[in-house]
Structure 1
Amino acid sequence: MADWGPVLIAVILFVVLTPGLLFQIPAGGRIVEFGSMQTSGASILVHAIIFFGLITIFTIAINVHIYSG
Structure 2
Amino acid sequence: MHDWAAPLIASALFAFLSPGLLLQIPGKDSPLGFMNMKTTIASVFVHTVLYGLFLILFLVVLEIHVYA
Category of TM-score, reference length = shorter chain: over 0.9
Q: How many angstroms apart in 2 are the aligned matches of 1:22 and 1:16?
A: 7
- For this pair of structures, how many residues does the alignment match? 68
Q: Percent identity?
A: 38
Higher strand share: 1
Residue 54 of structure 2: aligned partner: 54
Structure 2 unpaired stretches of 5+: none
Residues 1-69 of structure 1: pairs in structure 2 closer than 5 A = 1-68=1-68
Structure 1 unpaired stretches of 5+: none
Runs (4+) of structure 1 exceeding 2 A deviation are: none
Q: How many angstroms apart in 2 are the aligned matches of 1:8 and 1:31?
A: 29
TM-score, structure 1 normalization: 0.95
